[in-house]
């Protein structure tokens, strides 16, 4: 049974707004993956698992110390930066020049350890941060907007803007971009490539840590959600263009909107199909992604 | 005349055989039944699998007190049918005499193929797909309702609560996960709804992906239809998402009732939603709060799992325990661990006093227990409480729902 015409349009408007807001958080999560691949050329197959660890970190900080995830996202991002930096210098770096399947095995192994680690520590139950405003919403005409979704989308945009500014306006950011554009040239002019790679990996993980903290305000943390996040981030990055930061945000938005609209126009259970349909379409028409550069 | 006792070759062989067999006979008398408990303790169904496992952990003390000699092997199926099949093989190779499991229908069917081939009895504790007892398995019994029975009983209980509270629902929406269980429930709903004659207009059936990050779109769609009754088949994490999005979108139905599904009675549901978890209703087979064995089992459960609430785990833990009870009871009667003989005893089960609501545990020709009852359970002060049928109820049902806002 379809709702009356007026209700139908308000339904579309509500769903569209939710799609845009969720898409922005998706975009931030995928941004970390895109940054790492764009510079280090390593595909982080443990990306979703890091996001889930970020969710649990925000959950623990909220449950134990009452720290709002919108605040704890900053220290979580900082800690993830340090972890990413250390991980690149110790574990990942020896694999940078090795075949891709070896990188794949390394990171999948890391992902399995993380999933099982979180399962052992937190168990399989869904954990959520019950903020005092978790259930609040604004009613704007016929549109109802969740407060947390608006906050999360705004925070995601702010983090993305900071990252863009870092790469554009700081010497280190420019040096990282130089590494991404021309690795040999960067090495020739004396840039410390290993250090820049580690910084990039740290930044990528900081993004995913922040995104995880934001995600826990929208959905519940469970260890088993991690592979779905990894897949989602991959889909977004491939649609937006591997290595393109703007592409990650655009891809996130497109996936958010496509899933939301497919839910209402086709069937809610078909929303995943919509995102993969979009992926196939992009791969067929523009294999490098919407904003990616042709190899 | 001289009498000689000639020892023939045949007598010698018989004597030797008797000497060899004698220790085995003595050993059989003091034998222990080795039960393999196959549950999805990790992966997608981990939450329910862990809940059932807590019931298994409470079983040894209970069974020992009842005079049964059993040993348990705990096996994780990782929520994966292929793993379940491999683990069943491994359990049998490792000496398990009987298997119980496996919460999910897909994994249960995978295990059933192995137990049938190896002639090892398999007691299904939770799994609702009708085909489990429709495929002619000789080494399988199911102590759980089929999907059709779950829905039929669930819908009957909706009618009962409407009568009991003199409340009328005009429009209903049915929301269900599109996984194996949810789809089976949808099919059962399609078949049974027209037959039960409920005076409610079922205006929409919405399938959703249980792995979705939220159910905001689904709830927006329901809200645009504005039904006064939402019927749903969920798992725990998506039940949380559904209620959360209903509150955020300010959608207030008269009632949310599940005609036979998990989700609303899991600890995570209460933890995540607090007072918003209250008043939802679900019609399910449930532990009989007035049974002596349930009360004894509750004590054993609390001792084995001091950090968990029995009321919350009683559905999963109760069925997990009953699976063990059926196996142990059959072994006691059969006096052997031999598969076919043990299975014969399993099929002849008749246990009048047990944990879950319903008549004696017996199995029909297909291996299905026809006596499992359902209760209407409502969350009251974050405790799942039986509110119907009256003979086992602990409280009166609260309908229509109090508003989301202002709950404490």
Say how far apart CA B312 and CA B300 lie, in whole Å: 15
Q: Is A113 on the interface with B (CB under 8 A)?
A: no
DSSP B222-236: HHHH--SEEEEE--H
Instruction: Encode pLDDT of B26-78 as tens digits.
Output: 444 468 999 999 999 988 788 889 999 999 999 998 999 888 989 999 999 99
Chain-chain contact of A124 with B42 (C-beta, under 8 angstroms): yes
Question: Could you tell me the end-to-end alpha-carbon distance of chain A, in angstroms, rounded to an integer?
Answer: 49
Segments in B128-215 forming alpha helices (H): 147-165, 180-196
Say how far apart CA B120 and CA B117 lie, in whole Å: 8
Say how far apart CA B264 and CA B257 lie, in whole Å: 10
Q: What are the φ and ψ backbone dihedral angles of B345, each rounded to 5 degrees? A: -70, -35
- Element containing residue B323 per DSSP (H, E): helix B310-334
Q: Which residues contact A168 (CB under 8 A, 6 or more apart)?
A: A174
CB B393 within 8 A of CB B381: no
User: What average pLDDT does this structure show over A147-156?
Assistant: 93
The structure's pTM equals 0.80
> Quick check: helix, strand or coil at residue A64?
helix
> Quick check: helix, strand or coil at residue B171?
strand
How many angstroms away from the CA of B268 is the closest CA of chain A?
6
In total, chain B counts a number of residues equal to: 408
Q: Is A268 on the interface with B (CB under 8 A)?
A: yes
Q: Is A123 on the interface with B (CB under 8 A)?
A: yes
Q: What are the φ and ψ backbone dihedral angles of B76, each rounded to 5 degrees? A: -95, 125
In chain B, domain spans:
29-145+289-347, 148-284+375-388
Q: Is A5 on the interface with B (CB under 8 A)?
A: no
How many angstroms away from the CA of A176 is the closest CA of chain B?
34
CB B390 within 8 A of CB B288: no
CB B321 within 8 A of CB B58: yes
> Quick check: helix, strand or coil at residue B140?
strand
pLDDT for res B173: 96
**Whether pLDDT at B17 is above 50:** no
B250 → closest Cβ in A128, A137, A268: A137
Say how far apart CA B104 and CA B122 lie, in whole Å: 14
B29-145+289-347: what fold? Rossmann fold (3.40.50)
pLDDT for res B3: 41
Q: Which residues contact A21 (CB under 8 A, 6 or more apart)?
A: A145, A146, A149, A150, A152, A153, A256
Instruction: Encode pLDDT of A57-111 as tens digits.
Output: 999 999 999 999 999 999 999 999 999 999 999 999 888 888 888 989 999 999 9
Tokens of B104: 């999910």
CB B40 within 8 A of CB B3: no
B148-284+375-388: what fold? Rossmann fold (3.40.50)
Residue that the structure tokens 């900053």 belong to: A74
Instruction: Give, in order, the Cα–Cα distances in Å from A241 to each of B346, B359, B392.
Output: 60, 62, 61
Give A27's contacts in chain B (Cβ within 8 Å). none
Question: Residue B389: is the preceding peptide bond cis (ω within 30°)?
Answer: yes
B214 → closest Cβ in A137, A144, A219: A219
The mean pLDDT of chain B is: 90
Q: Which residues contact B166 (CB under 8 A, 6 or more apart)?
A: none
CB B231 within 8 A of CB B253: no
Q: What percentage of residues in chain A have a pLDDT greater than 90?
A: 57
User: What average pLDDT does this structure show over A198-224?
Assistant: 92
Q: Do domains B29-145+289-347 and B148-284+375-388 have the same CATH topology?
A: yes
Q: Is A135 on the interface with B (CB under 8 A)?
A: yes
User: What average pLDDT does this structure show over B324-335?
Assistant: 96
Say how far apart CA A209 and CA A78 lie, in whole Å: 9
> Quick check: helix, strand or coil at residue B336?
coil
Chain-chain contact of B220 with A272 (C-beta, under 8 angstroms): no
A268 → closest Cβ in B217, B247, B248: B217
Q: What is the DSSP letter of B205?
A: E
Q: What percentage of residues in chain B have a pLDDT greater than 70?
A: 92
In chain A, domain spans:
5-285
CATH number for the segment(s) A5-285:
1.10.3470
Residue that the structure tokens 């934001």 belong to: A214
Scan residues 32-61 of B and list those with Cβ closer than 8 Å to A.
42-44, 46-47, 49-50
CB B357 within 8 A of CB B287: yes
Strands B140-142 and B98-101, bridge-based pairing: unpaired
Q: Is B216 on the interface with A (CB under 8 A)?
A: yes
- Quick one: closest CA in A to B405, which residue? A135
CB A244 within 8 A of CB A291: yes
pLDDT for res B19: 45
Question: Residue B102: is the preceding peptide bond cis (ω within 30°)?
Answer: yes
- Quick one: closest CA in B to A144, which residue? B249
User: What average pLDDT does this structure show over B7-13?
Assistant: 51
Interface ipTM: 0.79
> Quick check: helix, strand or coil at residue B279?
coil
Instruction: Encode pLDDT of B160-204 as tens digits.
Output: 999 999 999 999 999 999 887 788 889 889 999 998 889 999 999
Q: Which residues contact B309 (CB under 8 A, 6 or more apart)?
A: B267, B383
Strands B140-142 and B171-177, bridge-based pairing: unpaired
Say if residue A97 is exposed, middle or buried (CB neighbours under 10 Å; 0-12, 13-18, 19+).
exposed
Tokens of B244: 């959360």
pLDDT for res A183: 82
Residue that the structure tokens 């006792």 belong to: B5
Say how far apart CA B278 and CA B269 lie, in whole Å: 10
Instruction: Encode pLDDT of B254-307 as tens digits.
Output: 999 998 888 899 888 998 899 999 999 999 999 999 999 999 999 999 999 999
Q: Is A150 on the interface with B (CB under 8 A)?
A: no
Q: What is the DSSP letter of A46?
A: T
Instruction: Encode pLDDT of A34-50 as tens digits.
Output: 999 888 888 899 999 99
Write out the E strands in B40-120: 70-76, 98-101
The mean pLDDT of chain A is: 90
Give B50's contacts in chain A (Cβ within 8 Å). 123-124
> Quick check: helix, strand or coil at residue B366?
coil
Give B244's contacts in chain A (Cβ within 8 Å). 134-135
DSSP A223-269: GGGHHHHHHHHHHHHHHH-TT-HHHHHHHHHHHHHHHHHHHHHT-GG
Say how far apart CA B271 and CA A287 lie, in whole Å: 45
- Choose among B389, B378, B380, B398: nearest CA to B165: B398
Residue that the structure tokens 């249980």 belong to: B210
């Amino acid at each position: 049974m379809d709702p009356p015409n007026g209700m139908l349009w308000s339904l579309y408007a509500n769903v569209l707004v939710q799609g845009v807001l969720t898409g922005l958080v998706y975009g931030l999560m995928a941004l970390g993956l895109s940054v790492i691949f764009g510079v280090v050329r390593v595909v982080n197959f443990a990306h979703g698992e890091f996001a889930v660890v970020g969710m649990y970190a925000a959950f623990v900080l909220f449950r134990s110390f009452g720290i709002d995830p919108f605040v704890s996202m900053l220290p979580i991002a900082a800690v993830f930066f340090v972890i990413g930096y250390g991980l690149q210098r110790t574990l990942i770096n020896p694999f940078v020049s090795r075949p891709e399947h070896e990188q794949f095995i390394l990171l999948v192994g890391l992902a399995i350890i993380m999933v099982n680690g979180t399962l052992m520590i937190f168990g399989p139950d869904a954990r959520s941060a019950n903020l005092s405003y978790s259930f609040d919403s604004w009613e704007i005409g016929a549109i109802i907007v969740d407060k947390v979704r608006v906050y999360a989308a705004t925070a995601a945009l702010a983090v993305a803007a900071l990252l863009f500014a870092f790469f554009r306006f700081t010497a280190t950011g420019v040096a990282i971009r130089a590494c991404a554009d021309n690795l040999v040239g960067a090495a020739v002019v004396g840039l410390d490539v290993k250090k820049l790679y580690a910084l990039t990996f740290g930044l990528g993980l900081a993004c995913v840590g922040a995104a995880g903290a934001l995600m826990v305000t929208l959905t519940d943390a469970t260890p088993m959600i991690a592979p779905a996040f990894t897949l989602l981030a991959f889909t977004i990055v491939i649609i937006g263009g591997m290595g393109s930061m703007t592409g990650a945000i655009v891809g996130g938005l497109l996936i958010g909107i496509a899933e939301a609209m497919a839910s209402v126009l086709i069937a809610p259970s078909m929303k995943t199909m919509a995102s993969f349909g979009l992926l196939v379409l992009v791969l067929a028409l523009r294999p490098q992604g919407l904003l990616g550069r042709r190899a | 005349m001289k009498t000689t006792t000639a020892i023939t070759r045949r007598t010698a062989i018989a004597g030797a055989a008797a000497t060899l067999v004698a220790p085995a006979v003595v050993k059989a008398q003091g034998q222990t039944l080795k039960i393999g408990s196959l549950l999805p303790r990790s992966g997608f169904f981990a939450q329910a699998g862990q809940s059932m496992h807590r019931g298994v952990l409470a079983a040894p003390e209970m069974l020992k007190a009842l005079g049964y000699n059993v040993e348990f092997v705990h096996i994780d199926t990782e929520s994966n049918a292929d793993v379940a099949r491999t683990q069943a093989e491994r359990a049998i190779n490792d000496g398990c005499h009987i298997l119980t499991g496996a919460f999910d229908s897909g994994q249960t069917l995978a295990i059933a193929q192995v137990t049938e081939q190896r002639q090892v009895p398999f007691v299904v504790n939770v799994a609702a797909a009708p085909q489990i007892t429709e495929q002619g398995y000789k080494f399988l019994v199911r102590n759980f309702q089929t999907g059709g029975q779950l829905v039929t009983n669930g819908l009957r209980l909706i009618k009962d609560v409407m009568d009991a509270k003199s409340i009328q629902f005009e429009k209903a929406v049915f929301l269900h996960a599109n996984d194996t269980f949810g789809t089976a429930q949808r099919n059962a709903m399609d078949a049974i709804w027209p037959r039960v004659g409920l005076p409610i207009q079922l205006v929409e059936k919405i399938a959703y992906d249980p792995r979705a990050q939220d159910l905001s779109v689904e709830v927006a769609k329901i809200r645009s239809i504005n039904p006064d009754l939402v019927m749903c088949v969920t798992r725990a994490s998506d039940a949380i998402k559904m209620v959360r999005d209903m509150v955020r979108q300010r959608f207030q139905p008269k009632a949310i009732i599940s005609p036979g599904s998990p989700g609303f009675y899991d600890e995570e549901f209460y933890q995540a939603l607090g007072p918003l978890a209250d008043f939802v209703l679900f019609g399910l087979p449930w532990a009989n709060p007035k049974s002596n064995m349930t009360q004894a089992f509750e004590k054993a459960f609390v001792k084995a799992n001091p950090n968990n609430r029995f009321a919350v785990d009683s559905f999963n833990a109760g069925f997990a325990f009953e699976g063990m009870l059926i196996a142990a009871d059959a072994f006691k009667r059969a006096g052997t661990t031999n598969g076919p003989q043990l299975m014969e005893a399993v099929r002849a089960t008749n246990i009048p006093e047990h944990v879950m609501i319903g008549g004696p545990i017996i199995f029909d020709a297909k291996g299905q227990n026809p006596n499992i009852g359902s209760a209407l359970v409502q969350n009251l002060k974050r405790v799942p409480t039986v509110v119907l049928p009256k003979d086992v109820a602990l409280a009166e049902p609260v309908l229509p729902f109090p508003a989301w806002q202002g709950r404490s």
